[in-house]
Amino acid sequence: MAETERAEYHVVVIGAGPSGLAAAAEAAAGGLRVALLDQNARVGGAYWRHSPAHLDDTAGVALHHDWTTFRRLLARLDGVDVRTEHTVWGLEGLDGGFRVRASSGEVSRVPVVLDTASVVVATGTHDRVSPFPGWTLPGVLGAGGGQALLKGTLLPPGSRVALAGSGPLLLVVADGLLRSGVEVVAVAEAGHPMAYGLHPGAWSGLTARSREAVSYAATLARHRVPYLAGHRIEAAHGTDRVERVTFATRRGRTRGYVIDALLVSDGFTPQLELLLQVEPDTRIDGDGSLVVMVDQQQRTSVPGLLATGEVTGVGGASLALLEGFVAGRSLSGRSVDPAVLRRIGVHRRFAGTMHAVHRPRTEWSDSLPDDELVCRCEEVTAGEVRAACRDLGVDDARGAKLMTRAGMGLCQGRVCGRAVADLVASTSGAGPGPGEAARAGYRHPAFPVPLSVLAGDALHGTHGQG
């Protein structure tokens, strides 16, 4: 059994995306001893995911935004203990601080215990994908996931790709695929983006952002990619992999495409699992996500616990970067320019508009066939969850989990938590809040860890520096 590794810091930052990088760099610049942890092999998060072979290569750089910002942040990590390939699975309060438990190395799995005065949680999001017929077929990926594959390796997820769901990410990913020479057959947006016109003030102060949106639209037009507003996924078809997708309008008009990959995003799921272990105050955001509440210095209701980026409300990389900057400054006792705080306000307002325009699909829970899976890990069908509601009186996600094992598998409800809650609500009529879904999905440890890591921790964990 690998021996537990231990260390102490002033600040442990969890997640090395834009906000985690900014927080770590600022805190270190303020003289603090800082560790920056990420489960990936390289820093950058999903936004700046890259292959080292492509760090200076034009094909790689062309897929990225704000690449110079990333390079500048990298140059400021000299004083930071950067710990990549660290999967953090435990966070607990200590007297005057926190204990962070991680597993180092996806294969070697060395137990790591870090004690720290403060923690910044910057764990970001993953794609939300609401179930539809055929959604578990290989070749159906989260849209952000497909983008991660492309950015990280320059490998496209397929050669004939359709994108579907709702939100600006679909356009960003389509743009990246087209630039990489991939055929994009269609982008199906469930919402009606013309609704942005109902919120004219939202774009003010965000000229870079609106320029970006225009450039994505132009790329789609240049490649003659159909942009299907008001279309949802009817079904993905295939036997051992996705071969075709059909989209439908609310009025039942359908379109079909032959594909070898379908990238889906119904918004995002902020990764709150670690935060919930120390119970800070939370709220439900405009997109229905459970998020953590923070003050203007990114502090949660738990002293010493800060949160930045998407876990405080999905709002994109620019906002995340600013929040990380503020967290790093406030931890090291330095002031923040009020202009930065105003800028955060501008981004937050825009995020609110985005949530209103791209409401996630909800009609799926009534139309999903009984034999389709809701929970991928435990292979629980919609019919089993509905039967539990009807026959066993289940009326919340927790009950569904106990009775059907939905959400009890390896992903710990990360993928299906919200979907199960929606399905239970629509079947039982009892309607739990969406926050309930995230809580039902949460369980200690925050990631599956092998018994050797837990055992190593139990043997050495409570006896000081080993």
Partner 1 sequence: MSEDAGFALRVDGAEVSAYDGDTIAAVLVRSGRVSWRRTRVGERPRGLFCVVGACQDCLVTVDGVTGVRACLAPAVAGAEVATSASSPTTPRGSMPGHGGARHG
Give the residues lining the site for partner 1 (CB under 8 A): 39-42, 46, 50-54, 56-57, 85, 87, 106-107, 109, 126-127, 136, 138-142, 144-146, 148-149, 152-153, 155, 157, 240-241, 260, 271, 376-379, 405, 409-411, 414-415, 443, 445, 447-451, 454
CA angle 16, 19, 24 (to 5 degrees): 65
Residue type at 288 in one-letter notation: G
Smallest distance from partner 1 to CB 163, Å: 15
The residue (of 345 and 448) whose beta carbon lies closer to partner 1 is: 448
| SS3 of residue 15 by DSSP | coil
The rounded distance, in Å, linking the Cα atoms of 27 and 333 is: 9
The residue (of 67 and 447) whose beta carbon lies closer to partner 1 is: 447
Smallest distance from partner 1 to CB 39, Å: 5
Smallest distance from partner 1 to CB 346, Å: 28
The residue (of 264 and 357) whose beta carbon lies closer to partner 1 is: 264
Smallest distance from partner 1 to CB 451, Å: 6
The residue (of 399 and 409) whose beta carbon lies closer to partner 1 is: 409
The residue (of 150 and 424) whose beta carbon lies closer to partner 1 is: 150
The rounded distance, in Å, linking the Cα atoms of 317 and 312 is: 12
How many other β-carbons are positioned within 10 Å of the β-carbon of residue 74?
A: 16
Which of 301, 448, 300, 331 lies closest to 35, judged by CA? Answer: 331
The residue (of 301 and 452) whose beta carbon lies closer to partner 1 is: 452
- Label the pairing between strands 380-381 and 373-375: antiparallel
The rounded distance, in Å, linking the Cα atoms of 261 and 248 is: 18
Smallest distance from partner 1 to CB 177, Å: 14
Query: What's the number of CA atoms in the CB half-sphere (13 Å) around residue 193?
Result: 17
What b/e sequence results for 106-143 when a residue is b if at least 16 CB atoms lie within 10 Å of its CB, and e otherwise?
eeebbbbbbbbbbbbbbbbbbbbbbbbbbbebebbbbb
Burial of 4 (0-12, 13-18, 19+ CB in 10 A): middle
Smallest distance from partner 1 to CB 109, Å: 7
Smallest distance from partner 1 to CB 431, Å: 26
The residue (of 145 and 328) whose beta carbon lies closer to partner 1 is: 145
- Structural tokens at position 374: 């809701």
The residue (of 297 and 452) whose beta carbon lies closer to partner 1 is: 452
| SS3 of residue 405 by DSSP | coil
Smallest distance from partner 1 to CB 159, Å: 11
